[in-house]
Amino acid sequence: MIYSYYPGCTLKTKAKDLDMYARKSAEALGVTLEEIPEWQCCGGVYPQAKDEIATKLSSVRTLASAKSAGQDLVTVCSACHHVVKRVNDDMKNDEYIRTRVNNYLGLEEPYAGETNVIHYLELLRDVIGFDQLKKKVKNPFKGKKIAAYYGCLLLRPSGVMAMDNPENPTIMEDFIRAIGATPVVYPFRNECCGGYITMEDKNLAIKKSNQVLASAEGKGADLVITACPLCMYNLSKNGTKHSLPIYYFTELLAEALGVK
Amino acid sequence: MSTVKEKNMIDEILRMSGSDPKRCMKCGKCSATCPAFAEMEYHPHQFASMIDQGKIQPLLTSEAIYKCLSCFACMERCPRDVKPAKLIEAVRLCVIREQSRNHMTPDDIPCLLDEDLPQQAIVSVFRKYSK
């Protein structure tokens, strides 16, 4: 199984662990991730205005590159996944955006949303299967109570992201079960950690991150997992009142598979 | 009464956002679910009603346009598909697309950095706050 892979800017810098353990685990699971050549940063947030064209180009270049390789595109970072998937939806369904982007890029063959974008968690669930993953686990996290932090970007808007039920998701809890641990379901698992507001209004990010961690701690979690480098930063740096350890889900996966 | 410039701006906001604030039934769910509610001078449901009524000026000068976290909770939970996040983004774009109106510039960044801050945060604020 060969996939195009889009790591994104932060996975090459502050979130190297998220990337490295994703690659090691994929290898152990028989999946080849081929990094898109000369990919560009997605911009971190989806440009919502209909007339924002230039800010969508980097995502389209990535999508078109996967298309020409004839491969599905795998993402790991929640923000990259969100941006690339929503731009893909625009290219598929918004004629105004599609026309202007294609006019600018002048690709050999115009891009119209053909690439299938899947998050690494969806790869585990839909391609490998959590039951198969469970069979490959060498070091199960027996007795560990793990809280999945979805945040915002993987789930919403659900019409486009289509990963899971946006209010009652199960994909990360099923992942936690597959690696032999016990999932902790808590009210704030799909509420915002503050995101980029940490640069504009740090106190707001501190308030939001503490709310998430209080909620997870209140339900007895030993640790929290995330797929997002900015959630990782907020929960670990701005979650000032709590000391719950935060891990990337890929690190736990690699440890469970014995490739850490 | 809105001026011609304000009316043009409202048309622009409706076009950019693809939202129809007239669909709003004022249930308040968007504001109830907004994680930045307490920090916003005007709340998501007020963006919908004020834009609908042509009261754009107070929104253009409010810090509220920089408080949206783009968590899309309001969009997901709106029972009428009004898309408040898209309205807030369109109002902010009307401001920062004007010359010299960037809310954050590269000069602001160095004092905000720490050793763990991910690049993602920096590229995101530039997308949100400057042109």
pLDDT in tens, B59-104: 999 999 999 999 999 999 999 999 999 999 999 999 999 999 999 9
| Domain shared by B9 and B60, yes or no | yes
User: What is the predicted ipTM?
Assistant: 0.96
Tokens (6 digits) for B16 = 């950019």
The last residue of one of the domains, among A89, A120, A151, is: A120
Report helix, strand or coil for A193.
coil
pLDDT-derived band at B2 (thresholds 50, 70, 90) equals confident
CB contact under 8 Å between A45 and B124, yes or no, is yes
Which bin fits A40, alpha (ψ -120 to 50), beta or left (φ > 0)?
Answer: beta
End-to-end CA distance of chain B: 30
End-of-domain residue from the set A120, A147, A172: A120
Same domain, B45 and B10: yes
In this structure, are B18 and B76 located in the same domain? Answer: yes
- Minimum-distance CB partner of A13 among B67, B119, B125: B119
Domain of residue A42, residue span:
2-120
Distance from CA of B108 to the nearest CA of A (A): 10
Assess whether pLDDT exceeds 80 at residue A17: yes
**What does the pLDDT look like over B25-64, one tens digit per residue?**
999 999 999 999 999 999 999 999 999 999 999 999 999 9
Q: What average pLDDT does range A151-156 have in this prediction?
A: 98
Give the count of domains, chain B: 2
Same domain for B88 and B116, yes or no, is no
Read off the pLDDT band of B21 (50, 70, 90).
Answer: very high
- Give the residue numbers spanning the domain of B82: 4-98
Q: Do residue A101 and residue A143 come from a single domain?
A: no
Nearest CA in chain A to B93: A49
Q: In chain A, positions 28-67, which contact chain B (CB-CB < 8 Å)? A: 41, 43-51, 55
Half-sphere exposure of residue A239, counting CA atoms within 13 Å on the CB side? 25
- Please check the confidence at residue A246 and state whether its pLDDT lies above 90: yes
Q: Return the CATH number at A7.
A: 1.20.1050.140
Asked if the C-beta of B104 comes within 8 angstroms of chain A's C-beta atoms, the answer is yes
Instruction: Read off the pLDDT of residues A87-140 as tens digits, 9 standing for 90 and up.
Output: 999 999 999 999 999 999 999 999 999 999 999 999 999 999 999 999 999 999
Number of domains in chain A: 2
Among B72, B116, B125, whose Cβ lies nearest the Cβ of A200? B125
Q: Does B87 touch chain A (CB under 8 A)?
A: no
Say whether residue A97 is in contact with chain B using an 8 A CB cutoff: no
**Domain match, B69 and B33 both:** yes
Mean pLDDT of the A197-205 span: 97
> Are residues A183 and A107 part of one domain?
no
pTM above 0.80, yes or no: yes
Our CA-based measurement puts residue B7 at a distance from the nearest CA of chain A, in whole angstroms, of: 18
Confidence of residue B1 (pLDDT cuts 50, 70, 90): low
